């Protein structure tokens, strides 16, 4: 009998995602279950006897768990990971095509396929080494900083996403583009941009699909660059998202394995963390292929 270690964020989701309900679902499908709560001090104690690592939570929980594995350099003990996406945006799960109820995901595990997942490695940012989704400059660090003032624990995921997109529209309208020195695989792409995002997933933030063709297992980033000339196009995309439409816009992007970047500003985000740097500090990033492996339930995209 295979053993699942469930790492659970008990504040994510609803009663259907309680410790008791999730353990019952796992055991009813013929697996042993070891439960760990991210709120407990011992959640990092994942045993080598684990066959599958299951993470129940949102993007923040997925990053928290995988960051711990990578920082401890436990690569010889990187287990196949299953996501139960019960957070707000769930950009990592959406990129992988993982959807459906927890019951549907767990019941289809025996038919799951594996998916290698690249990791971004960053240099010259203190206390930060890896990213799963993206790191970038411009509008998104500003959005992440401002949204904290209007967030509420009582918001539903839908309300939280709507708040973020409404605020984003205001920021797009008022934000002044900044100069950026950018080298992508040895070629100069410097310019003046509203944002520069080095993306490993298809979407970031409030489910904005800036790299809809992105693949986190192809060994390359998608560097998305939005100049001031595309401000109206970017704004129109967010407005359509707010109206419940999902139309893919062709924002300028460049495939990359290694980048060097400095921005005329001091703030950068690495996944969901905002970091203050010295003005125009140079940062490097490179792709580290296939460091993680996810299990995709039957029906998920590769």
Domain range annotation of the chain = 3-118+292-296, 122-289
Would 3-118+292-296 and 122-289 be classified into the same CATH topology?
A: no
- Give the chain as a 3 state SS string: CCEEEEEECCCCCCHHHCHHHHHHHHHHCCCEEEEEECCCHHHHCCCCCCCEEEEEECHHHHHHHHHHHHHCCCHHHCCCEEEEECCCCCHHHHHHCCCCCHHHHHHCHHHCEEEEEEEEEEECCCCCCEECCEEEEEHHHHHHHHHCCCCCCCCCHHHHHHHHHHHHHHHHHHCCCEEEEEEECCEECCEEEEEEEEECCCCECCCECCCCCCCCCCCCEEEEEEEHHHHHHHHHHHHHHHCCCCCCCCCCEEEECEEEEEECCCEEEECCEEEECCCCCCEEEEEEEEEEEEEECCCCCC
Domain spanning 3-118+292-296, CATH architecture: 3-Layer(aba) Sandwich (3.40)
Q: What span, in angstroms and rounded, lies between the C-alpha atoms of 230 and 88?
A: 28
| The pLDDT of residue 11 | 87
Which residues lie below 8 Å from residue 71, measured CB to CB, with a gap of 6+?
129, 130
pTM (2 d.p.):
0.93
Per-residue CA distances from 292 to 63, 121, 186 (Å): 12, 13, 27
Q: Are 168 and 226 in contact (CB under 8 A)?
A: no
Domain spanning 122-289, CATH architecture: Sandwich (2.60)
| The pLDDT of residue 302 | 46
Per-residue CA distances from 206 to 3, 24, 124, 197 (Å): 34, 32, 28, 15
pLDDT one-digit tens code per residue, 29-67: 999 999 999 999 999 988 888 999 999 999 999 999 998
SS3 of the chain: helix, strand, coil, percent, to 5:
30, 35, 35
Which parts of the chain have pLDDT scores under 50? Answer: 302
* 259, β-bridge pairs: 184, 285
């Amino acid at each position: 009998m295979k053993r699942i270690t469930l790492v659970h964020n008990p504040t994510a989701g609803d009663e259907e995602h309680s410790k008791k309900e999730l353990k019952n679902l796992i055991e009813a499908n013929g697996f042993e279950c070891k439960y760990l709560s991210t709120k407990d001090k011992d959640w990092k104690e994942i045993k080598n006897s684990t066959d599958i690592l299951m993470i129940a939570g949102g993007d923040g929980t997925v990053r928290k768990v995988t960051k711990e594995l990578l920082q401890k350099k436990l690569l010889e003990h990187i287990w196949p990971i299953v996501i139960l996406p019960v957070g707000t945006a769930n950009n990592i799960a959406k990129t992988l095509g993982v959807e459906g109820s927890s019951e549907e995901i767990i019941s289809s595990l025996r038919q799951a396929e594996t998916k290698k997942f690249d990791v971004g490695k960053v240099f010259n940012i203190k206390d930060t080494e890896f990213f799963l989704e993206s790191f970038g400059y411009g509008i998104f660090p500003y959005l992440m900083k401002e949204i904290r003032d209007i967030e509420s624990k009582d918001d539903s995921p839908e309300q939280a996403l709507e708040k973020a997109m409404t605020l984003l529209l205001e920021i797009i309208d008022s934000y002044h583009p900044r100069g950026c020195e950018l080298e992508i695989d040895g070629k100069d792409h410097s310019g003046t941009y509203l944002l520069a995002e080095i993306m490993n997933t298809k979407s970031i933030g409030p489910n904005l699909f800036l790299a809809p063709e992105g693949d986190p297992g192809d060994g390359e980033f998608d560097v998305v660059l939005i100049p001031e000339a595309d401000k109206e196009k970017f704004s129109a995309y967010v407005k359509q998202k707010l109206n419940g439409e999902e139309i893919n816009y062709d924002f300028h992007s460049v495939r990359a394995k290694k980048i060097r970047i400095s921005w005329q500003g001091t703030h950068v985000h690495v996944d969901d963390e905002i970091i203050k740097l010295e003005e125009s500090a140079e940062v490097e990033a490179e792709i580290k292929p296939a460091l993680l492996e996810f299990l995709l339930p039957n029906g998920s995209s590769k």
